[in-house]
Amino acid sequence: MKVSTILDQIDLGSFALPKFQRGYVWNRDQVRGLMHSMYRKYPIGSLLVWVTKAEAAEAKGRGDLPPGVVKLLLDGQQRMTTLYGIVRGKPPEFFDGDKRAFTDLYFHLGDEAFEFYAPMKMKDNPLWVNVTELMQIGAGEAIKRVVNVPEWQPSITEYINRLNAIDSIKQAELHIDEVTGEDKSIDVVVEVFNRVNSGGTKLSKGDLALAKLCASWPEAREQMKSKLEKWRGAGFDFRLEWLLRCINTIVTGEALFTALEYVDTAAFKEGLNNAEKAVDKLLNIISSRLGLDHDRVLGSRYSFPVMARYLMERGGSLADHKERDQLLYWYIHTFLWGRYAGSTESVINQDLGLIEEKDGALNRLIGQLRQNRGDLRIDPNDFLGWSSGARFYPLLYMMTRVCKSKDWGSGVELSKELLGSMGNLHVHHIFPKSLLYEYGYSRPDVNAIANFSFLTQETNLKVSNKDPSEYIPKIIKRQPGALESHWMPMDPSLWKIENYLAFLEERRKLLASAANGFLDSLLEGIVPEEEIITSILGRKAELVLGGVASDEEEQILKDCNEWLAQRGLPEGEYMHELADPETGQPLAVLDLAWPAGLQEGLSQPVALLVDEDPAVEEIASNAGYRFYTDAESFRRYVETEVLAISEAVA
């Protein structure tokens, strides 16, 4: 069947998406890959549909389906959604995802490349053709625009052929396999779906488990997403599979999704409600007691399934503040030492086993951490990590909040000034990056955790990139005690740029001592009681897009920096914040960035964005960045363009 015919049938409702299907998950690389394959007339695989009576079908995004039979798409959703979005210029009615993944796709008539719109690169360059516009006006109209350009005449035949090749994608034939027959119940079809759906992005174990559950409760996915949206609105960005893991541990006491196979709809609904209550309570406890009040400082997401099970097995509440604080003590150490950074499911199952018997459960959890680590004391060298992706970054943020550190400008306790409002808390480099680079310090030293402090935005802007030996004495006079509240070394000789490494060493000692003191007080249940804030879930928080979400992603970025260093190229700036040049408000965080290019003056700003939302890519592009979404393509760029430039200049 032709692509255009399939799109027409989607519009009519005779081609639809079953409710148990997951949403649209493709990224821009996959969209480009599909269009490149179809442009070159490469095979892209067949579609699989379930032919069933419309009155018995549960489809996404529509009310009543047209009478008769309907074809429900089992395999090929990502491909057909992409084609629909590019050809029609809007997502289909059943769409559930981010349409920016396929919006503003362009084609270069010269080098035959598909890329997404980048103003600095494409504006006023007629060789870049909007693919959606071409699909809608047709090749004939598009050809009229190029035939009368004199400088294009030597290549006009090639350009015409290329325009025709893109337009003819609508006429491409796709083979469709059908699942038919009265014996094909929803359970049978879901089993077929689970076995064959492997095109494009592979389904995770969570996707497969949820598909089975949606067979009996089609609204399950939408209900779960509504919970995720509530938490996102409060500043916490969780994934669907994470919530499913929490439900699974509460209902079955197991981490493996296969345990959900025998869970009926009623039990799953109850599990979802209990998971929501548990996560709500845990977020409020962690935010109010530890000050970890937004997504980028939360840490250890996969301790939540264990804590949710622990909480619900006790009726949804903890006995007293001592039990609560010991649970928080365990939670903090899970992110400090990467408890769930490896084999997540097996480690969660191990910890679930430790809390199966209620008496002494917390002691066993903490004991397991001690057994793995040998010692849970924090050493000054633990603060040797660098960048805001390091595990000790949330610890420093937490200490600033709970230990009542004072703002250097206003003298106000940050815990009170910023309670429930992450927007005003900014990372400050005590020794400015520009001065450190001028003096020859390495990037890890410049971005060392021990060089970070948290201040209000106003104070951060006032201090700016001043020399510490100049601005610190002024702060001491204006706000006595404010610097000490941030564990600052008070020896004036350590404020000099040439003594920066000695400063870091001394501050790491102060930080370790303060952290151990606070953690000990949690373990012993003697943290002073504070008034618990109103539920953090009642606020509205604006998330800054982007950032490093996992240890695996962080390792990819570090490997890239090491690879560059071996070739004599500058390392990228880790977790680079893009801000509005007029207001200073953060727009997005780029995983790894070179704001001045890999070779200043010879190459444009570039970034490596691993597993990021298309919105981050759009922001980077609008800021003039050339970006790559995987390490392999980034390295190809470096080898073919940057290193080639070096050789040419040499």
What DSSP line would sit under 529-585, residue for residue?
Answer: P-PPPS-GGGS---PPEE---SHHHHHHHHHHHHHHHHTT-PPPEEEEEEE-TTT--
Contacts of 467 (CB under 8 A, 6+ apart): 432, 435, 497
Q: What is the pLDDT of residue 97?
A: 81
Q: Say how far apart CA 40 and CA 79 lie, in whole Å.
A: 16
Residue 543 has pLDDT above 70, yes or no: no
More reliable by pLDDT, 62 or 358: 358
Q: Say how far apart CA 401 and CA 419 lie, in whole Å.
A: 9
- Residue 424: which pLDDT band, with cuts at 50, 70 and 90? low
Q: What is the pLDDT of residue 395?
A: 92
More reliable by pLDDT, 227 or 587: 227
75-102 b/e with 16+ CB inside 10 Å = b?
A: bbbbbbbbbbbbbebebbbbbbbbeebb
Please return the burial class of 40, using the count of CB atoms within 10 Å of its CB with bins 0-12, 13-18 and 19+. exposed
Nearest to 163 by CA among 112, 87, 103, 88: 112
Q: Say how far apart CA 56 and CA 64 lie, in whole Å.
A: 11
Q: Say how far apart CA 19 and CA 73 lie, in whole Å.
A: 10
DSSP states along 113-128 = -EEE--HHHHTT-TTE
- Residue 206's SS3 state is helix
Q: What is the pLDDT of residue 390?
A: 62
% of the chain at pLDDT higher than 70: 83
- Residue 118: which pLDDT band, with cuts at 50, 70 and 90? confident
Q: What is the pLDDT of residue 231?
A: 93
DSSP states along 454-509 = EEEHHHHHHHTT--HHHHHHHHHHHSTTTTGGGT----GGGGSGGGHHHHHHHHHH
Order of strands, sheet of 105-108, starting from the edge strand that comes earlier in the sequence: 114-116, 105-108, 128-130
Q: What is the pLDDT of residue 419?
A: 41
Tell me how many degrees the CA angle 141-147-149 measures, rounded to the nearest 5. 125
CA distances from 289 to 270, 283, 517, 536 (A): 28, 10, 16, 12
Q: What is the pLDDT of residue 144?
A: 78
Tokens 């990819």 label which residue?
Answer: 556
- Residue 626: which pLDDT band, with cuts at 50, 70 and 90? confident
- Residue 171: which pLDDT band, with cuts at 50, 70 and 90? very high
Q: Say how far apart CA 202 and CA 195 lie, in whole Å.
A: 11
For residue 253, the one-letter residue type is G
Q: What is the pLDDT of residues 448-490, one digit of tens each?
A: 889 999 988 788 788 878 999 999 999 999 999 999 999 999 9
CA distances from 132 to 26, 101, 263, 598, 621 (A): 18, 13, 45, 33, 19
Residue 603 has pLDDT above 80, yes or no: no
% of the chain at pLDDT higher than 90: 37
- Residue 60: which pLDDT band, with cuts at 50, 70 and 90? confident
Segment of 211-215, 279-283, 295-299, 387-391 carrying the highest mean pLDDT: 279-283
Segment of 31-35, 498-502, 561-565 carrying the highest mean pLDDT: 498-502
- Find the mean pLDDT for residues 60-67: 68
- Find the mean pLDDT for residues 589-594: 84
- Find the mean pLDDT for residues 138-148: 79
Q: What is the pLDDT of residue 586?
A: 63
- Residue 544: which pLDDT band, with cuts at 50, 70 and 90? low
- Residue 621: which pLDDT band, with cuts at 50, 70 and 90? confident
Q: Say how far apart CA 22 and CA 212 lie, in whole Å.
A: 11
Q: What is the pLDDT of residues 306-326, one digit of tens each?
A: 999 999 999 999 999 999 999
- Residue 297: which pLDDT band, with cuts at 50, 70 and 90? confident
Segment of 20-24, 119-123, 393-397, 539-543 carrying the highest mean pLDDT: 393-397
The DSSP output letter for 642 is I
Would you say 525 and 321 are in contact if contact means Cβ atoms under 8 Å apart? yes
Question: Partners of 590 in the beta sheet?
Answer: 576
For residue 581, the one-letter residue type is P
The DSSP output letter for 420 is T
Residue 203 has pLDDT above 70, yes or no: no
Minimum mean pLDDT range among 275-279, 493-497, 539-543, 565-569: 539-543
Q: What is the pLDDT of residue 432?
A: 92
Q: What is the pLDDT of residue 387?
A: 58
- Residue 142: which pLDDT band, with cuts at 50, 70 and 90? confident
More reliable by pLDDT, 120 or 24: 24
Residue 124: how many CB atoms within 10 A of its CB? Answer: 6
Tokens 């040797």 label which residue?
Answer: 384
Tokens 């070779």 label which residue?
Answer: 599
Q: What is the pLDDT of residue 25?
A: 78
Q: Say how far apart CA 126 and CA 146 lie, in whole Å.
A: 9
- Find the mean pLDDT for residues 568-592: 73
- Residue 185: which pLDDT band, with cuts at 50, 70 and 90? low
Averaged pLDDT score across all residues of the chain: 83
